[in-house]
Amino acid sequence: MDCPRDWPEPIVRVQSLTALPAIPDRYIKPPQDRPATDTPELTNINIPLINLSGLYAGDSALRATTLAQISEACREWGFFQVVDHGVSPGLMDQARDVWREFFHLPMEIKQGYANSPKTYEGYGSRLGVQKGAILDWSDYYFLHYLPGTLKDHKKWPEMPPSLRSVVEEYMDQLVKLSGRLMKAFSINLGLEEEYLQNAFGGEDIGACMRINFYPKCPQPDLTLGLSSHSDPGGLTLLLPDEHVAGLQVRRNNGWITVKPAPHAFIVNIGDQIQVLSNAIYKSVEHRVIVNSGKERTSLAFFYNPKSDLLIQPAKELVTPEVPALYSAMTFDEYRLFIRTRGPQGKSQVDSLKSPR
Ligand code: OGA
Ligand code: NI
């Protein structure tokens, strides 16, 4: 199976619809998926917040406490925020600012980067290629960073002029932060420190980013900025919009609206770590709601396995009591699902469950 060369319908930029009095029918979700009418919103709770400075400090008691906090957040939540993570706050602000500027450039310039479903690289306005699908209220930009053979600065916006160098530095720092989290996850799972990194292909991991732009929406109660999904890759580092809430995380039968801490990253477990950990860690469904007053920009950085390696439950975590829960698949094969069908909750990882 492969992705088609072209979108099934002409692409409409959501940015160009923001001044309409009503949203077009193709953005109207069925009643059960609309933000206001489905399960109740859980107020006054937030995902855990962890200070990572203890991971780097020489103090071994503090390091153990930090690892324990990460362990609990991975087991109980699958989603948490981190501060004091080592990435420069100024660089985080610059990264968000250059992308916000990009989305405000004239449409002719952005159209020069229009993407196709073949690689998804560039300026896009839908996930999935099913004709007649109900679409999400967002535009995005998708780019590759690792492996180096896939990175092509010419496919990154040339404007604003600092974008390429800022993105290069930002992604370099996020690769390093992800590597540290992979070590922490491995240790917490009782595996050798380099286990997950090696299972991902060592130096040959994949890293890419989707910058999501959620324009103002005249009827936010009828649609979603991004439909419920779990992230297909390894782990995600999300830089949310500090001023505009929108990300919701599934918790039991409700949704928690994440309240971002200043200069925090939101970390979440992707499907590949769910598979490798044999479901000790689970990817968690999340979605984005939009609003009529403010646009929102977020940067989702994805740390993924080398695309042609088979990913399967770690044999150290498979026991007679807990057999391997998932069958093996390469990430190349795995990610075709979301690329063809679009975001569909957790149906994909569930479909990997070994029959028994
Ligand atoms: C994603 C995602 C959340 C957000 O890009 O996979 O879940 O807040 N984004 O934009
Ligand atoms: Ni996501």
Which atom of ligand 1 is closest in space to residue 214's alpha carbon?
10
Does ligand 1 come within 6 angstroms of the Cβ of 249? no
Does ligand 1 come within 6 angstroms of the Cβ of 300? yes
The Cα 291–Cα 279 span in angstroms is: 35
Q: Is it the case that residue 133 has pLDDT exceeding 90?
A: yes
- Mean pLDDT of the 184-188 span: 98
Other CB atoms closer than 10 Å to residue 62's CB: what's the count? 15
The residues pairing with 303 across neighbouring beta strands, listed in sequence order, are 207, 235
131 CB burial (10 A radius; 0-12, 13-18, 19+): exposed
In the numeric block, which tokens belong to residue 331?
Answer: 């990430």
Q: List the CATH code of the domain at 14-346.
A: 2.60.120.330
Which residues neighbour 38 within 8 Å (Cβ) at sequence distance 6 or greater? 32
Contact present, 127 and 343 (Cβ < 8 Å): yes
Mean pLDDT of the chain, nearest integer = 95
Q: Whose CA is nearest to atom 9 of ligand 1?
A: 300
% of the chain surpassing 70 pLDDT: 97
pLDDT score, position 326: 95
Amino acid occupying residue 45: I
Ligand with an atom nearest the CA of residue 208: 1
Does ligand 1 come within 6 angstroms of the Cβ of 288? yes
pLDDT score, position 145: 98
Q: For a substitution probing ligand 1, which of 238, 259, 266, 285 has the most ligand atoms within 8 Å of its CB?
A: 238
Does ligand 1 come within 6 angstroms of the Cβ of 205? no
- Mean pLDDT of the 114-143 span: 97
The Cα 316–Cα 239 span in angstroms is: 33
Q: Using pLDDT thresholds of 50, 70 and 90, give the confidence band for residue 1.
A: low
Does ligand 1 come within 6 angstroms of the Cβ of 296? no
The structural domains of the chain, with segments of one domain joined by +, span 14-346
pLDDT score, position 355: 59
pLDDT tens by residue, 199-242:
999 999 999 999 999 999 999 999 999 999 999 999 999 999 99
pLDDT score, position 44: 77
Q: Is it the case that residue 339 has pLDDT exceeding 60?
A: yes
Q: Whose CA is nearest to atom 5 of ligand 1?
A: 300
DSSP class of 18: T
Which atom of ligand 1 is closest in space to residue 231's alpha carbon?
6
The residues pairing with 269 across neighbouring beta strands, listed in sequence order, are 235
Q: Using pLDDT thresholds of 50, 70 and 90, give the confidence band for residue 36.
A: confident
Q: Whose CA is nearest to atom 8 of ligand 1?
A: 247
pLDDT score, position 45: 87
pLDDT score, position 56: 84
pLDDT score, position 3: 78
Ligand with an atom nearest the CA of residue 142: 1
| Ligand 2 centroid distance, CA of 232 (Å) | 8
Ligand with an atom nearest the CA of residue 266: 1
Does ligand 1 come within 6 angstroms of the Cβ of 241? no
How many angstroms from the chain centroid is the CA of residue 222? 23
The Cα 234–Cα 206 span in angstroms is: 9
pLDDT score, position 252: 87
pLDDT score, position 232: 96
Does ligand 1 come within 6 angstroms of the Cβ of 199? no
pLDDT tens by residue, 248-293:
999 988 899 999 999 999 999 999 999 999 999 999 999 999 999 9
Side-by-side strand order, sheet with 41-42: 41-42, 254-257, 247-251, 286-288, 226-229
Does ligand 1 come within 6 angstroms of the Cβ of 212? yes
Closest CA to 258 of 291, 286, 299, 293: 286
Q: Using pLDDT thresholds of 50, 70 and 90, give the confidence band for residue 302.
A: very high
Does ligand 1 come within 6 angstroms of the Cβ of 298? yes
Q: Is it the case that residue 152 has pLDDT exceeding 80?
A: yes
Q: Using pLDDT thresholds of 50, 70 and 90, give the confidence band for residue 319.
A: very high
Does ligand 1 come within 6 angstroms of the Cβ of 247? yes
